[in-house]
Amino acid sequence: MNISTRFGAKLPLLSNLVPIREVPKLGFLPFSHRKRGFRTGFSKKMALNVEKYDVGVENKLELIRSATESNADEAIEALKAGKVIAVPTDTLYGFACDACSSEAVNRIYDIKGRKHTSPLAICVGDVSDIEHFAVTDHLPHGLLDSLLPGPVTIVLGRGESSILEKSLNPGLDSIGVRVPDSDFIRIIARGSGSALALTSANLSGQPSSVSIKDFENLWEHCAYVYEGGVLPAGRAGSTVVDLTKPGKYRILRPGSAKEETVAILENYSLLEEVLSG
C-alpha cells in the first residue's frame, strides 16, 4: 500500500521525507518475522493441538474466498463461531479471530507455534471503537484520526474500563490496536461486534506473508482464506508506537511507516521517550 498520499494530505511536509526502507522488527511484535531457529517436531504438535478442517489436496482451494464485501457475512459467522480466518490487511496477511474467545486465541497460538508470552494485537473497525478497549483520553485531540486508518499499531493502556477479556495477553496492562486501511477487515471487525485478535499469517519466526501462497501450508487450519492479491507494502509490517505515556511516544518497531508516523506525532507536540541506561 502506498501510504504517502494519505499521510501527506494530513501533513504536507511528509512529501519531502526519505522513502522507507524495510527494517528488522523488534519490540512488540504483532507481526513477527524475525529469523530464528524453528524447533523440530512442530508439525506433530500442531496436528495434535490445532483444529484442522477436512481438506484434501483436491478441494483445498475451496477454502479460498475473495476479500470482498459479498463474502463478509460468511467471515463474520466464522469469527462468531470461534474460528480462525486468514485476511489481507494494508501491510501483511494475518490470522484473525474473536479477541474475546480464549479458545480461538489459543488456536492462533497453536497454528503459529508461538509462545503464549508473545502478545497479540487487536483490530477494530473504526478509530472511535478504540476507546472501548484502551485508554485514549490522554492523547491530543485528533491524533488517532491522523494516524489511523493506516499501517500503524498503537500501544495503549488497557485500563479498568476495557471490555477486553482478561485472557487476552494476561498479565499485560497494555494492548496494541490496529485500524488497517483495508476495507474487508474493517467490515468484518464491525460486523463481529467485538475486537479481532490479529497476527501475521505465518509460522512464528518465518517471513511474513504478502500473498496467500506464502502460507499455503497453514490454509487447512483456517475456516476460510480470503484472497486480496499480492500486498504491495513489503514484509516490514505495521509501525508499532507506544503511546501509553502522556506527551511521549516510543517507536517499538519501525515497520513500514516510521517516518510518516514520527512526523505526525511530533506535529502534535509529542516527544520521543528516551530510555535511560
Helix or strand (DSSP H, E) at 74: helix 72-80
C-alpha cell of 68? Answer: 470482498
Distance between CA atoms of residues 153 and 139, nearest Å = 15
pLDDT digit string (tens) for 3-23?
Answer: 444 444 444 333 333 333 333
**Among the listed residues 197, 186, 185, 201, the one whose alpha carbon sits nearest the alpha carbon of residue 122:** 197
Q: What is the DSSP letter of 23?
A: -
125 touches 133 (CB < 8 A): no
Residue 207: per-residue pLDDT = 94
Please, which pLDDT band fits residue 110 given cuts at 50, 70 and 90?
A: very high
Q: What does each C-alpha distance from 147 to 68, 78, 92, 101, 264 come to in angstroms?
A: 25, 30, 18, 28, 7
| Burial readout 173-204 (b: 16 or more C-beta within 10 A, e: otherwise) | ebbbbbbbbbebbbbbbebbebbbbbbbbbbb
The strand ranges marked E within 61-219 are 64-66, 85-88, 93-98, 121-123, 152-157, 174-178, 196-200
Task: Give the Cβ contact number of residue 113 at 10 Å.
Answer: 19
What's the mean pLDDT in 161-171? 85
Statement: residue 65 has pLDDT above 60 = yes
Indicate the range of 6-10, 75-79, 96-100, 130-134 predicted with least confidence.
6-10
C-alpha cell of 59? Answer: 478441494
Query: In sequence order, what are the residues at sequence separation of 6 or more whose Cβ sits closer than 8 angstroms to the Cβ of residue 252?
Result: 26, 27, 28, 155, 240, 241, 242
pLDDT digit string (tens) for 171-200?
Answer: 899 999 999 999 999 999 999 999 999 999
Please, which pLDDT band fits residue 170 given cuts at 50, 70 and 90?
A: confident
Distance between CA atoms of residues 1 and 69, nearest Å = 19
CA angle, 206 then 47 then 225, to 5° = 60
Q: Which domains does the chain have, with CATH numbers?
A: 56-234 (3.90.870.10)
Q: What is the DSSP letter of 20?
A: P
Q: What is the DSSP letter of 254?
A: -
Distance between CA atoms of residues 135 and 159, nearest Å = 6
pLDDT digit string (tens) for 25-39?
Answer: 333 333 333 333 333
Statement: residue 130 has pLDDT above 90 = yes
What's the mean pLDDT in 49-72? 75
C-alpha cell of 117? Answer: 508470552
| Burial readout 139-148 (b: 16 or more C-beta within 10 A, e: otherwise) | beeebbebbb
pLDDT digit string (tens) for 228-265?
Answer: 999 987 888 999 999 999 999 999 999 999 999 999 99
